[in-house]
Structure 1
């Protein structure tokens, strides 16, 4: 009987210790969570702008040409840039010919200003892996579905013609209607062309998002401008909002006369 009482006593003490440890662990988890929340709150001091650009199509738009782009960048006056170029392109300041805004506006701006600059596109071998997957998917789609491929090409051309003609200013080009239409276009392409397209697109935009998060973390309180292709812009904005990054509503900001 005495042995049984001793065993019960030991068990009670053990249970008390376990419960105390559990409470301590819970307190530690709450402490870590509060630190993480405070970390996010600290970084909410960043002004984060996401600006979509048109590449060669800047030459087709009267309201969003290269001069307009230059004025927007100067008006934002960023301290940090995240660009849709690879680390190699950023280092060499060379891009493929279609990205005319980089050679004519963005790279000269970097050379004239003291800025922290991040490459938003992946480095090798990730860059080629993603591009090759998407390319193979497009080639297979063009071969297997030539009529559908032609229809999609005509749709894309007509959509951009309508958008460019409808834009009254840069705010429209970076506005909710443009985001919705181009987001729907890219979603449709993913559904038609397949996972090689949709997964590559998702991975690419996720990488850019992660680079922006890195820039936010490393540049607390700084004004950050993310420059990305206009088709990527809606997805980057959505990703950042899901990550609780408070981004500036650039459509509203531009419409309030900040250009």
Structure 2
């Protein structure tokens, strides 16, 4: 099993000629099947030079590199309708909220693991809503929906009762609609303010909108949100 963070940033090599084709920029999730369908490969010019590698064409995901047979396995985003469609749906796993099918908000995904042979998501790790320093794990078989706004999981009957939430989290859990989403996002912004960005964040045209080393402020959060990069900011602020 591999955590997503162990794959992101790895170089991608062609086995045929031993040449570096780029590096892993992102993992493209198929929410219906709960697996990685494509690896987004960048050659340095984000989106301008980005291509996709079907996960079925991956020969290996090792400690130091991802391998594929040849460069012919890669295609541009616009030439791969299924990859383009998945990217447009903007399904994120890390940074997304975890909600039970009984309506209890339990936390925010901080990491996930995949089976490097099949691309299937195996388990999710999430920071609990009651205590962000506490990490809980949910097996992917208990995930009902990978959604744009929330990831829905089965609430286990007879299990430990949901954690006692802070007054703010209770308000979020009681209002999982648009008001609740806004409240939760404000909480995330407060958590990010004061942290530093560890890599450049670019817009869809490849322009750097938040440089590496930037200290996050509320204005930076608003900028990232307006460009559809708030989830990426939450992942890149340390």
TM-score normalized with structure 1 length: 0.19
Question: Which structure exhibits the higher relative contact order, with contacts defined as CA atoms closer than 8 Å and separated by 6 or more residues?
Answer: 1
The higher radius of gyration belongs to 1
TM-score (norm 2): 0.20
